[in-house]
Chain A
Amino acid sequence: MANNDFPPAFIAQLKENQPPAWREAFAVLYPIAWQGAGHARWRLSDEDREEVAMEALAEVSRQISALKTWREISALTFVIARRRSISRLRTLLAQKRGSHTNATVSLEEIGDILQATEGMQAAGGLHELAGTVAGLIQGLGEPGATMVREFLQEGKSYQEIAELHGKPIGTVGTVIYRAIQQLKREVSRTPKLMKELQLYLRLLVV
């Protein structure tokens, strides 16, 4: 099933809690939540990841009345799943250390922040900006694009990337530094959007 934008009529059906619409929406949102619940830099078990994804979907269905577009819905799904997975990871780590510290971030907190900043509008911007960044990296050509993705998404070190591609570490550093400076320049052209997205980005970053 293509992860396309659904039309307003479909969103209206979701708001009316029509089961067929939600059946389709959950089917499309689940892979998004699953992706949000995972990250190259941490590994939840598949069971935990599924649980996080389900929690995200349930939470989104509860917040549907505040959402206007499919982009907002998918962005919020991803954000909640990401934050939930971070919380779960912290909890697991705390348990492993025998700590009783509750390091989790509550969904209520996320909801409050979203509401306070009218962040739902930013969700559309998040989609646009993510597409822009992905396009710019794609435009770097190979192997630069792969190197940058490995650095940004997979958290690989300069040394690891250099060894993977058989390149000097200076070349890797230059490629990555150049790409990030280019991305920085690009997104700085839309400072208003960046400002609106600060909250989302902060929520997404560990």
Chain B
Amino acid sequence: MNDHRLRILLDAGAQRWLTDAEETELSRLLEDPANREVLDRELGPLKHRFGALLDYHRARQAVEPKIPPARLEALLTGMTDRMAPSAPKVVPFRRWFGPVMAAAAIAACLTVVVWYQRPGPQSRTGGELAIPSAPTSVPGVATAPRTRGTFEFAVVATIASVRGAAEKTGSTLGPDWRVVPQENLASLRAWSTASLPASVTARVWVDEEAGKLRAMYRLADGTVAGICRATDGRQVDSTETVVGWYGSLSKGQGLQALPLREWQRWVNEFMTKAEQRMPAKRTGGVIAE
């Protein structure tokens, strides 16, 4: 092998000075793996760097694939979890109550129209009004946008007993429960990405496609939040999970009155219990609301 000759030919080629005979000679040299290694050593670091830049350039142009709807909702609800305020969140009074009530408040000589929205028991009765210069109250305005909802417990693409026995609106698991069987994954996707109805307190399901347990639930201030947890590669036994979840949720009577942190603790506990009941073997899909 002649490194020197190879380099001369490559440089000449780079300058477009190669004769036909020299190009033939270069081809002959590059047929030798050892010589190709020389060229790789020469170009290696630059190859990777320029390749990465081209990858990034291509990525910037990409518009596919679209983000799966359930994934998007999970990201957004995950952000809601992170943003959960430990301190009162300031919301303009006008935005909260609307212009009419704001005008009424101003007419009532309220000098500060700031609404402190504090998730928790306080906000169920309307939170607190900060009115430093004119302490008073506003009767009738303290109405949080929420009501007690049911726990729909939708099972099951693959459990015959539930599929056949449960009615979609039947309270088969308890007074606040209803089983909503899903026939297939498409219906699961549609169901899990739909907005949480006002009459429903929580929706929980197993996203087997992503290997995640997911829950969507309504906070005390009416905000819909979400949480997900990896199932560590294990799949969920439907029957066991249904039983486990029912046991967990049965303790949740009056959940609607819980403040945010209690909600989160409950959901975490709920998820943990569901996970503990998951065997290693996959047996089918579970959907719970």
B27 located at the interface, meaning its Cβ lies under 8 Å from any Cβ of chain A in the complex: yes
Which A residues lie within 8 Å of B87 (CB)? none
- Given B9, B30, B52, B72, which contacts A204 in the complex, CB threshold below 8 Å? B52
Contact A31 B59 (CB under 8 A): yes
Known interface pairs A3-B61, A30-B65; A180-B54 also in contact (CB < 8 Å): no
Question: Complex formed: what's the CA distance from A35 to B75 in Å?
Answer: 19
**Which of B53-79 touch A at CB < 8 Å?**
53-68, 71-72, 74-76, 78-79
Known interface pairs A127-B60, A130-B60; A26-B67 also in contact (CB < 8 Å): yes
A190 located at the interface, meaning its Cβ lies under 8 Å from any Cβ of chain B in the complex: no
Question: Complex formed: what's the CA distance from A1 to B60 in Å?
Answer: 12
In the assembled complex, the CB of A86 is this many whole angstroms from the nearest CB of chain B, namely 11
**Which of B70-127 touch A at CB < 8 Å?**
71-72, 74-76, 78-80, 82-83
- Which residue of B56, B62, B68 has the most chain A CB atoms within 10 A of its CB atom? B56
Known interface pairs A153-B51, A174-B14; A31-B26 also in contact (CB < 8 Å): no
Contact A22 B75 (CB under 8 A): yes
B251 located at the interface, meaning its Cβ lies under 8 Å from any Cβ of chain A in the complex: no
B129 located at the interface, meaning its Cβ lies under 8 Å from any Cβ of chain A in the complex: no
Q: Chain A residue with minimal CB distance to B60?
A: A3
Contact A170 B30 (CB under 8 A): yes
Question: Complex formed: what's the CA distance from A89 to B63 in Å?
Answer: 25
Question: Complex formed: what's the CA distance from A200 to B85 in Å?
Answer: 35
Which A residues lie within 8 Å of B62 (CB)? 3, 31-32, 34-35
Contact A171 B27 (CB under 8 A): yes
Stretch of B42-50, B172-180, B184-192 lying at the A interface: B42-50
Which A residues lie within 8 Å of B53 (CB)? 126, 129-130, 133-134, 201, 204
In the assembled complex, the CB of A19 is this many whole angstroms from the nearest CB of chain B, namely 6
Known interface pairs A19-B76, A31-B63, A62-B82; A151-B47 also in contact (CB < 8 Å): yes
Q: Count A interface residues, CB 8 Å.
A: 62
In the assembled complex, the CB of B49 is this many whole angstroms from the nearest CB of chain A, namely 5
Contact B27 A130 (CB under 8 A): no
Contact B63 A1 (CB under 8 A): yes
Contact B31 A169 (CB under 8 A): yes
Q: Chain B residue with minimal CB distance to A35?
A: B59
In the assembled complex, the CB of A29 is this many whole angstroms from the nearest CB of chain B, namely 8
B210 located at the interface, meaning its Cβ lies under 8 Å from any Cβ of chain A in the complex: yes
Q: Chain B residue with minimal CB distance to A29?
A: B67
Interface string of A171-184 (1 = CB under 8 A from B): 11110111011111
Contact A183 B50 (CB under 8 A): yes
Question: Complex formed: what's the CA distance from A136 to B152 in Å?
Answer: 59
Question: Complex formed: what's the CA distance from A51 to B67 in Å?
Answer: 11
Contact A3 B47 (CB under 8 A): no
Which A residues lie within 8 Å of B199 (CB)? none
**Which of A147-173 touch B at CB < 8 Å?**
149, 151-153, 155, 157-158, 168-173
Question: Complex formed: what's the CA distance from A3 to B51 in Å?
Answer: 21
Which B residues lie within 8 Å of A58 (CB)? 75, 78
In the assembled complex, the CB of A169 is this many whole angstroms from the nearest CB of chain B, namely 5
A69 located at the interface, meaning its Cβ lies under 8 Å from any Cβ of chain B in the complex: no
Q: Chain A residue with minimal CB distance to B29?
A: A170
Which B residues lie within 8 Å of A74 (CB)? 59-60
Contact B55 A35 (CB under 8 A): yes
A116 located at the interface, meaning its Cβ lies under 8 Å from any Cβ of chain B in the complex: no
Question: Complex formed: what's the CA distance from A22 to B78 in Å?
Answer: 12
Question: Complex formed: what's the CA distance from A58 to B30 in Å?
Answer: 46
Q: Chain A residue with minimal CB distance to B230?
A: A51
11 contacts between A and B (CB under 8 A): A19-B80, A51-B210, A54-B74, A58-B78, A61-B79, A134-B53, A157-B36, A170-B28, A173-B26, A174-B10, A205-B49
Beyond contacts A31-B59, A134-B54: 17 other A-B pairs, Cβ-Cβ < 8 A, are A3-B63, A22-B76, A26-B72, A27-B67, A30-B66, A31-B62, A34-B62, A36-B59, A74-B60, A130-B57, A152-B51, A168-B24, A170-B27, A174-B10, A174-B13, A181-B14, A204-B49
Q: Which 10 A-B pairs have the closest CB atoms?
A: A170-B27, A174-B13, A35-B59, A204-B52, A170-B26, A30-B67, A31-B62, A130-B57, A152-B51, A205-B48
Q: Using CB atoms and an 8 Å cutoff, list the residues of chain B in contact with chain A.
A: 9-10, 13-14, 16, 18, 23-31, 36, 39, 42-43, 45-68, 71-72, 74-76, 78-80, 82-83, 209-211
